[in-house]
Each structure stands twice: as C-alpha cells, then as structure tokens.
Structure 1
C-alpha cells in the first residue's frame, strides 16, 4: 500500500502542475524589453590614473565613459530601476579603472562584510564583468560593497564562475549623503588577453538588498555573464610589463601529537613563479609547494551509498583552473560525478597533506585554442613511490558560443600503478533565442586505462537545458558509466550504471505584491539502472511542491520525494559507518521536507530544515538549524546544528554535527576567523583560529592555531589528540 501511495502522489503532482501551469504563464509575468543592440562604447585612454580611495574626486574621472542605462534583471527583467547608478570607465596603459556612483538611502544600505575575499551575496554591491577575448565563453568578475571589500571570480564556463580564484587588484568605497561611491583598479598584469583584440566583452551590475533587486547594463533571461554582455572598444597598447611575478613564501609548522607524546617543527621555504610567455599564455612554476594556512574542510559524515566530493581550497590549483574544467553540466540539478581531473587527489591522502617537490603549469589561449598543461611531482609516502602527474587540456571555440575540447591525464597519486584517462567534451550554447530564452547542451565521453583492466572502462554523458528565471523551464540528461571506469586522477563515485534524469518547473514573478515576490515549483525524476542486467539501482521522484520567496529575501519550501533503493550483496550500504546493517534488497519509501529561511541581508537571520519519512528498512528524521548574527561590520557569528535520528529494526542511532564560526574583522585586510567543529560519529571536536593580515593585494601574513580532541569512552570527557601552530608569510614581486 505504501508503494501505491507514493506513486499516486507523483501522479497527482503531475496533474496538479499541468492544471495550474497556464495560470503561471499569464501575460502578467512577462518581462519588458530593452534594445540590446546598442550596448557598445569606446573606452578612453588617460595618462593619469585616479587615486583609489573610494571618492570620485573632481577632475579624476572627467574623461571617462559614462554608463548609466542599467535596467532591472530581477525580479522583473528589463523594468526601470528605482535608483540611479552611474558607472565611469577608462584605462591607462597599465590598468582598467572603474568607478560607480550608487544612489540610495544610506540608512537602507546592507554593508556588514568588511573582510576581503568574503562572499558579498547578501550585500549591496556593484561589479564589472569583463571578457578580454570577447569570445562569450570566459572572463572575470570584480565586485565591491560600500566598505570597499574586494571579491573576484573567474568564469569556468560561459555561465559558471568560481569565487575561489584570487588575483591582484584594488578597490575602495565610501558612503555619501545620497548613496555610496566605489572605485576599482584592475591591472592588466592580472589578466590574460589577446593584445591584438581591442574589443572586450563587458557588463556592469548592481545588487540592492533593500529591494532585493538586481540591475545590469546587459542581460538576457536574467543572466549576466560572458555569454550575455555588451562590448567596449579601444583597448590598445596595453602594458603587462615583463609579465613576471616572483612569489617567495616561508612557513614554520609546529605539531604536537598528544597520543604518541611527540612533537615536531618544520621550516618550509617555498617559491612560486608566474611568467607571461605572451599576453594570453601563462607559465606558473612551483618549488617545495606549501599549502600551510589553507582553510580547513567542512565536516562531511559521508554515510550515504555513494561518496561525496570535497571542494578545492588550495590557491595553486585554483589559479587559471577554468582551462581545466571538463564537461560542463546544466543547472542546479547537475548530478554527474564523473570527472577526469580532481585536483584534491594531488598532495592529499584522505585529507592529510602529502609533500610536493614542485611542478609547472602552462595555461592560456593560443591561435584560437584554450590550452592547459600541468606537471606535478608528488613525493614518496606510505610505501608509495614518488609520482609524476600530468594533465593536458585543449578547447576550441566553435560556432558562435559553443566549445569542443579534449583532456588527457596520467598518473596515480594513491598507488604505484600507472593510470591514464582521456576524454572529449562538446558544449552547444545559444543564449539569444526568441522570447528572451536560451538553450544549452553538453556531451562528453571518457575512457580510463588501468593495469589489469580490459574493456568496460568508459563513460559518456548527454544533457540539455532550456532555463528560465521567470517562466517554465525543462532540462534532461542521460549518463552511462561502465563497471571498470576508474579515473585515478579524477572523481567517480558510481560505476556500472546508467542514469536518466528530467525536470520541469515554473518560476512565477509577482508584481507589486508586498508579501510575495516569487512562486516556484518543479517535478524532477532521476533513475539509475545496473548495466549488467538493466535492473533498477535506485529511483527518486522529487516534487518541489511549493517555494515562496518574499520581497525581503525570505523563503519557504515544501518538498516530497518518492524513492526506490536496491542494494546488492557486497555493495557499500548507507549507515555502515554507524554500525547499522541494512540487508541487500529493494526498499521503497516516501519522505517529506520543509525548509524556512530568513534573508541573510539582515543583521540576524535563521534557517530551519526538517525531513521525515521512511528510510530503507526503518524511518529517519533529519533536522538542521542555522543562525547568523552580524551585530556590526567587525563581528559575525555563524552557528549550525544538524541532528539525524535513524530508527532501524533492532536499533536507534543518531548523528550530530555542530559548527560555530566567529569572524573578527579589524579592517578589510586584517581579520581572525575562529572555527569550532564537532561530530559524534568519531566523537571528535576541532578548534581552528586563522589570522590573516593582507598587507596589500598579493602580500599576506598568516598565523594559524589548531587543536583536536576526542571523547574516547563517550562519557563527555575529551582527551587531546593534536595541537598545531603555523606561521606563514607570502610576498609577491611583480615586474
């Protein structure tokens, strides 16, 4: 009976969606139009650079080109903006200069972030997007808020960006009586470009938290990225100097093992070099690569059937990594986990650092091709010989916005085996369809080559996406991973299966409603089948029954999922790390989720999430609570608590994860981040305190303290495991 109810739920959901779809497609939600054909301008060359102090001083910006014809992108695309924004842009032979006069009520500004390279998602902010190759596929974004905080990103594809990337540039801002002003300096030495191309893609953006609205100079389907941008011309005789960055660093690392009763101190000099072989081709070399002072990973219990992937946080692997991105996947429903290159396999063994002798990276664009080559020498550890690692990548722009590429990897950092993977990927993109719509499709195929394996070692993927921010949307994909596919330098958490996925949904924008700004709903289905006999591995019908967003950024969401899980003998079973035994077999169950969150643009915000329902042979209840408090620009507090209870036949177990973060910011360049993490599976608690003094862009001092403890007997009495202290200094010499 339970199975029938679950399937009826999905059937009724489809009927409900189809019944109300015409209402949400009513003319009231259609956006206005703006002529995008004239979004071009000439940028002037000036001889004297402005002082970057946040003040738009008289005379400094007189020759700059003025851009003020911004329109709203959300909630109603192409509608007139409520407040005026005036950008000015010009350049010297050394740098691009941008200023913004942002008209607003100073008492309504949201400017709680004071620390550089911190997310500005919930801040009033302005930004510029530049595409130096004007290829509609790559670029950079530079953002600042009323405190002059710097936050930058690199586009890993035409529509996806990584804020983990960092470069050298300057920004400052000042609050004035009728709003706030900002200034930016972006050195050409920090960018990769073609000196023969004097026309760059460009866009200007503004986000206003008091109205929860976004504005831009150019947009399409509410998207602002390199694929949707205007043009600026006249960038000639740009100076990148010698094109040489010398980056010496030194760290000292003290570790005390309280269990073994031993301690050790290491002194680690390190040296990085970046040289521009040309304006569009970079060579980066590293010796005795030092990852001291890198941010620690978030806790992940990894209790599911399939392992999870952790994010890369080490700066060497983040620089110019857009070149190495493979096989773009569509939208927020991406569920492909087959990647030929995962940099966390290098220099890490289950989260523990492994020394790197050094390496070299070549990245950039040559004769219309994006090229990337990475060579790393990993030192010996745990009876594994020193390993040479190589990654090669090439992409070619084809059609108006599409790409064709290939990748090759060689090396296995975790064993003495030889291993290689080869892949080809293709992305078709058209962001200029009628009715303000776009279409994206991705295809890739990979094959691994490992000792003792003969055949059944390939994987392929195909998807399409027809997105919309204010109307109906649809996407689908299929992926097949053969049982012996194993990219040793990449990531793969599932093999011997074929995946099918589809989603359809709608976003409805409400006009002049004081309570609601957006109503959304969607229905998704994902299914995996074993390749050997075609039997079901797992299936999940997921109904986002209702999502409500308020004009202030608050959100309510209700979801229902109807799942089937099939466990075979010998497969990794969920909850095995908790000592729970789930026998092989087929399990069908339904789960319900409720989520409430208030906008983080306020000084105090909360989020609550609860999921309940059957779970394999039992039931589970998952809950998560989060609190964010920013009393002023110098202090912030984040607290999260996750609790899950599993009621399984014959036993009840629970998991708890607690995180508390306190950030003390003295200025945009000086801050202390204190972090406490606890989880009850291993009964460990960790303390980490990280001071960073950013003397100026590219010059840093860190001091990091860490301490770990464990409750061995589960009696609430914690014993010391390890204490660490790290000091690191880095200096960039730019020529």
Structure 2
C-alpha cells in the first residue's frame, strides 16, 4: 500500500499542470531626486509628489492574485548615493497594526513593507529589505528560494503610524549593493506588504504564478538608473573592549576556590575597501570574536554526532551565502579564534568569486564517523584558506567550484570540488556536488584516541598521523509546481572524507531518498492550504550494511491566526546502530506555530514514541522530545519569551530511565528606542543542574556601530546543602564605531 501511494504521488508530480499565460511583470521608471530626502516617515518633500506612484494590486497570500484588502502606494527616487522608497500603507483599523520596537530581524510576524532588489538580471540572488511601521529593520539575502537572515547591511528606515495607516521611508545606499555599473541598468524589483490579521495576508505590486517555482524570476523591473559615479569606499571598524572573568578552579569540586582575573583590555580593527561596485576587500586585525549573543543550550544527551551552531560573527556573515554548498563544506566557526582574517568577494559579469583566509590560534576539529563523531578542542594554531567561484547561467542555474585547505603544524586537510544547479522544462532542477579530500592527521593521541576503524578501511579514528583520501557526492532531481512536487536525491560519502573547514560530522554513507507531495489551496477562512507528503529512503554503509530504512507520511496545514500545523509518523522505520538492529521504531511528530494576536506568539514541536538510546550498548526505549515556547508582547517596547525543551526516554525491556530532563530559558527585552535596549537572559539546564544569568545593555546605532555593557553569571547545583555554587562570571564593556568616507 505504501509503495503504491509513493508511486501515485511520484507520477502525479511528473505530469505538468496546465499553465496560464505568463503574468506580465510591471515596470517602474525611477527619477532623480532634486532635493535632500529626510528619512523620517513624513513624505513632505516635493519630489515625492513628482515621483510615479504605483499601487499594490495583488494579494498573493492567501489570495491568488486577488484584490488586496487594503491599499498600498509606493514611490521610488534616487540620487548619486541612495535609492529611496516611500510606502503609504492604508489601514481601516490602525489600532490592529502590529509593530514593536524589537531588535533587528525580529519583525517577521508583524506588519512590514518589503523591497527586493536583484541587481544583475540573472535571477540568482536578491537583496531583501524589510521595515515595520516603526522603522525597525530586517534584511535578508535570498538565493533561489532560500532566505538567509544572517545578512546585515547599513541602510536607513523610519516609520510613522497615522490615523489612516502608516508610512515608511527607506534609503538603500548603492555602496552596499553589488551591481554591474553600466547604463542602462535594469534591476529586478519586488515590492510587498505583510498584513497579519486573522491570517497572514501578503500584498504585492507584481502578480505571482504559483505554478512557477522560481520566486525571483517573477519580480518586476526597475529602470531609469544611469551609470553611477561611485567613489572608492573605505570603512574602518575599530573596537575596544574591557573584561574581567572568573571561574571555579575545579568544576567538579564545589569546595575548590573561585579564581578571579584582573581587569583586561583589548583593541582591534576591521578595514573594508570597496574599489568598485562589484568588489569588496575586507580584513580584521586582532578581532574580537567573543559572543555577545549567547548560544541557547540544546538537549544533546542522546545525540551521538557533533552539534551545529549557527554563525553570529559579522565578519564571517557578510558574503556567507557565496561559500555555501548543499552540504556543510564550509563552516566558518571552524575558524574559532583568529589572530587575523581577510576576505575578498566580487562579481565579474556572470562570475561570482570569493577568497577567505584566517590564522586561528585555538583550532577545533571534528572527527566524523559512522555511528558517532567527536568535537575536539585542540588548542593548536592553524591557517585556513577557502576559494570559491561560481558561474551563473540562465535563470537559477550555475556551475561552481570550492577549494579549501587547513594547515596545522605537521598536519593538513584539503577539500575541493564542484557544485551545480541546472533548471529545465520550467518545473525541474538537477543539482549536485562532488567533493574530494586529502587528509594528513594530527599526530597526538592525547587529543583523541579511538581505535574504531573508519568504515571498511584499515584506518582508525585516532589522531595518529595517518594519511588518506576521501570523497563526497550528492545529486538531486527536483520538480516543483503549483500543486505537486518531488525530490529524488542520492548521497555518497566515503568513510575517509573529511573537511576541516566544514561541518562534516557523519561519513560512511550511501543513501537514496525520495520525497513527494501534493498541495491543495483552499479559499476557506478556516483551512487555507494542505500539503500531503511522503518521504522514503534507505541508508547503507560502505560494508553494505543497511543502517536505516524509513517511510514517513505527513500532512501540513495552514490555519487562521498565522497558524501552521504539521503531523507525521513513520509507517516503516528499521535501523542498525552500533551493530544492533531495531525494528518498529514507531513514533509521531507534531509541529505547531501560531500568532493568534498582536500580543502573543507560540510554537510547539514534539516527538512521542519509540527511540534508540544511543549508548554502548544501545537499547530501544520509549519517551518524548518536546520544545515549546511563548512570546508575550503587551506593548511595543516590551517583550518576554519563555522557551522549554524536555526529553525523556526509558527502557522498553525493564522500564529503567535512560534520561529525563529539561532546559528552560527566559529572554526579556525592554527597548528605550529602536537603538537602545535592556536584555535579560536566564536559563536552567536540569541535565547539568546549571543556572545561567545574563543581563545586557546595548546601544546599536546600526549593525556595526554598537555599545555593549553586560555581565554573565554561571551557577551549578551540586546537590548539597549549599544549593547553587557560583562557577563562572564575566564582566565586559565593548565599543565599536563604523567610520566611512561616504
């Protein structure tokens, strides 16, 4: 029955749906501003009255290019340095507008306006700029149909709520955009408005064909820009930091003394040069890559592989999308504590290129494996170099190359290869990557000594100076249209493949997987969208042992109140872990997130049922893993959230509890203005019986000119009469200022 259902969805997804005539893309011909445009949300400059006004005539969600529920006008101007946008957003009930003085990139569930700019006409990447009715910003880099909100740029916005809605003004400096500076210029342009009420409505100035999988291809056009005289731009980003820290001498002994350091200072400098509109050079000297934003703790008690944490450091975030492949062959956090780093990114017609290098004084290392991996803190120096090039051709199609090398004293790792994406027949994409690696291990068993063999080879996992080569291949065929999709993928990574500049934590795999789905759009106010999907796959080792086999059925729904619900379960799941075979690993997955009102957001994710206790020896257990959270926003300048993660697993054989614990985290913000805020994080981890307390004041004039003053306090409950013992503290103050010649 499952096989027949899979075949049905696969066949249904293979036949093209009937297509309407192509929807006509609108064109906006901008004009030059003749006066200074003040970004204040008040459209009182005479140039705005002279600029062409366009109306957002389409509701693209949940409507299908239907008439929008509210009127939105947009005007565009430019001068030598900026591209200006003015939005007039009408609202019959202004009291229902959702807007808070939140931190950057935290406005996605609120009212906001949207500008998308595709500056090379190749339908590959798009800059996205969002601002809510108070002018709070979010910015993203779209690559294909994926958005990356780690992208940050320096641009300007201001919003004002009025009796009839709200106005937003945006100024985007040309110097933050890469583009080919030749006349006449014609850019892709998306203009939109997010209108969250009983459901999430999205208005657009251009129509969207749901039968076309290419989002960027459906943008309108921006014309009227001449060749721009942009001088060489210099940016200096100096910083100073003062800090004092203390730690308990022996973390396992609560009676050991607490050692407090002296107050220390540090300074460094970042330099960026933009010689042309399509080249950026950047370097940092003695950079401060300390974590102002703390990583939330995750439950990893039953995770045998190294845990991935996202990058948060500005130097590495800019241009990060260029280095990304389908697999994690570049993971910038493997350059952990650099003495210096340098980077160049650029574009020459259809060729995008980037070079990154860094000298690291405390280099980590991932030792991957079949059943588990290890994250090793070596404390050693290394130098990493990465070269990336990508040739774009056609809409969303490209051919790329990535070369990386990490040099240690007496050890080396090289990884390199190609990746590609080819779109054809409107609905189809063929994508993939092929990588080769050559490794000479560190020779130090005190860092890592494990006699397990690497797959079917004669090499072992210990760091004993062995030399070996490996490869990784990933290919996929995808089809996507209005009502159906499928993804057929193959993945092959040899036991000896390693990438010391990437995040490769699992090897010795040969996997085949197919996912297919059927989507139904509904005009009902209760049920807007239904997606019925199936995922089927098998995973083998290089010893031809079938590690895993599964068939997963699921359904996802879009409901009122910006609510999304997904429910699914494996109808077949067999796995071999550490040589032991497990059958009937039955469980149910549930995901729910919602924004029922302007005051409350919440989410829930849960897995109930059977799971493998991944120890040695492994055993089958039953239990749950849950993560849930709620955010309360009683007024625009205050927000508090509570996040909880729980996990429990007990033996089916004898009811012994393998683990049972939780992590609870509260984050509270009070904003004095768009720029300044107080933040308090408190977190308790029952697995380690540790409590963390992080107060912070920050002033952010922009993403780069910032001031922080804060402290961190770590405590642990050792189970004695004294209860919590202080195990670590830190006090810090940091100032950095962006200076530019423009």
Same fold (TM over 0.5): yes
CA deviation after TM superposition for structure 1 residue 618, in Å: 2.0
> Are residue 467 (structure 1) and residue 461 (structure 2) matched?
no
Match of 1:191 among 169, 173, 177: 177
SS in 2 for 1:322: helix
1:54–1:172 CA contact under 8 A, matched in 2: yes
**1:497 touches 1:530 (CA, 8 Å); kept in 2?**
yes
Which of 445, 469, 479 lines up with 2:491 in the alignment? 479
TM-aligned CA deviation for residue 384 of structure 1: 4.8
Distance 1:383 1:223, change over 3 A: closer
Q: Is the 8 A contact 2:98 2:598 kept in 1?
A: no
Alpha-carbon offset, residue 293 of structure 1: 5.0
Specify the SS of the correspondent of 2:321: helix
Q: Counterpart of 2:549 in 1: which secondary structure?
A: strand
Count of aligned residue pairs for this structure pair? 679
Q: Is the 8 A contact 1:500 1:528 kept in 2?
A: yes
1:425 aligns with 2:419: yes
**Closer, same or farther: CA 594–411 of 1 in aligned 2, 3 Å:** closer
Contact preservation (8 Å) 1:203, 1:224: no
Shift of 1:116: 4.1
Distance 1:368 1:520, change over 3 A: closer
Distance between the aligned counterparts of 1:714 and 1:550, measured in 2?
50
Q: CA deviation at 1:677?
A: 2.1
Q: 1 CA distance for matches of 2:499 and 2:353?
A: 21
Closer, same or farther: CA 281–15 of 1 in aligned 2, 3 Å:
closer
The Cα shift of 1:190 comes to 1.7
Corresponding residue to 2:404 among 409, 431, 453 = 409
In the alignment, which of 713, 722, 728 is matched to residue 707 of structure 1? 713
Deviation at 1:536, TM superposition (A): 0.8
Give CA deviations for 1:137-174 in whole Å, capped at 9, x if unaligned: 1221100111110111123x232221112111110111
Q: 1:294, 1:539 → 2: CA distance?
A: 42
Give me the whole-angstrom Cα distance separating, in 2, the residues matched to 1:385 and 1:18: 51
Contact 1:472–1:506 (8 Å) recurs in 2: yes
| Alpha-carbon distance between aligned partners in 1 of 2:180 and 2:201, rounded to the nearest angstrom | 35
- Give the direction of change, closer, same or farther, for the CA distance of 1:419–1:715 in structure 2 (3 Å limit): farther
Query: Which of 509, 519, 535 matches 2:530?
Result: 519
Partner of 1:496: 508
Alpha carbons 2:217, 2:395 under 8 Å: kept:
no
Aligned to 1:629: 632
1:245 is aligned to 2:235:
yes
Alpha-carbon contact 1:384-1:416 (below 8 Å) kept = no
Deviation, 1:87, is 0.8
Gap change, CA 1:66 and 1:144, over 3 Å in 2: same
Aligned match of 2:221 in 231, 239, 255?
231
User: In the alignment, which residue of structure 1 is the partner of 2:57?
Assistant: 70
Offset from partner CA, 1:495-531 (integer Å, 9 cap, x none): 11111111111222211x2322222221112321112
Task: Check whether the contact 1:115–1:670 (CA below 8 A) recurs between aligned residues.
Answer: no
Counterpart in the other structure of 2:341: 359
Verify the 8 A CA contact 1:547 1:555 in the aligned structure 2: yes
Aligned residue in 2 for 1:279:
277
Write the mapping of 1:14-93 to structure 2, written as runs, cut at 5 A: 36-57=23-44, 59-93=46-80
Deviation string 1:382-431 (CA, Å, 9 cap, x unpaired) is 87543221111111112343111101111157x7521111020011135x
Q: Which moved more, 1:662-671 or 1:452-461?
A: 452-461
* Cα distance in 2, alignment partners of residues 638 and 690 from structure 1: 16
SS where residue 379 of structure 1 aligns?
strand
| Counterparts of 2:410 and 2:215, CA distance in 1 | 43
Counterpart Cα distance in 2 of 1:308 and 1:274 = 32
The alpha-carbon deviation at position 494 of structure 1 amounts to 1.4
Does 1:560 find its partner at 2:569?
A: yes
Give the 5 Å matches for 1:121-160: 121-155=108-142, 157-160=143-146
| CA distance in structure 1 between the partners assigned to 2:687 and 2:587 by the alignment | 24
Check 1:133–1:715 CA distance in 2 against 1; reply closer, same or farther (3 A cut).
Answer: farther
Alpha-carbon distance in structure 2 between the residues aligned to 1:242 and 1:183: 27
User: How far apart in 2 are the matches of 1:714 and 1:36?
Assistant: 71
Residue matched to 2:200: 212
> 1:3-34 deviations in whole A, cap 9, x for unaligned?
xxxxx7x4697699899x89xx9x9xx99x68
Q: Give distance in 2, aligned partners of 1:358 and 1:644.
A: 41
| C-alpha contact 2:37 2:45 (8 A) present in aligned 1 | no
Tell me how far apart the structure 2 counterparts of residues 477 and 18 of structure 1 sit (CA, whole Å): 13
Which residues in structure 2 correspond to 1:545-584 (within 5 Å)?
Answer: 546-561=555-570, 562-569=572-579, 584=580
Deviations 1:564-593 (A, max 9, x none): 120135xxxxxxxxxxxxxx3334311123
Residue 675 of structure 1: aligned partner: 681
Q: 1:43-78: CA deviations, max 9, x gaps? A: 212232311111122514123232214312212322
Distance 1:47 1:376 in 2: 45
TM, length-normalised to structure 2: 0.86
Q: Structure 1's 240 and 168: CA in aligned 2 closer, same or farther, altered over 3 A?
A: farther
Q: CA deviation at 1:38?
A: 4.2
Q: Structure 2 vs 1, CA of residues 305 and 85 (structure 1 numbering), >3 Å: closer, same or farther?
A: same
Contact 2:33 2:47 (C-alpha < 8 Å) held by counterparts: no
Provide closer, same or farther for how the CA distance between residues 400 and 619 of structure 1 changes in structure 2, counting only shifts above 3 A: closer
Match in the other structure for 2:453: none
Match 1:640 to one of 643, 649, 652: 643
Deviation at 1:718, TM superposition (A): 1.7
In 2 relative to 1, CA 727–106 (structure 1 residues): closer, same or farther, beyond 3 Å? Answer: farther
1:248-397 paired onto structure 2 within 5 Å: 248-259=238-249, 260-264=257-261, 265-302=263-300, 303-327=302-326, 338-347=327-336, 354=337, 356-379=338-361, 384-397=379-392
Cα RMSD, aligned residues only: 2.8
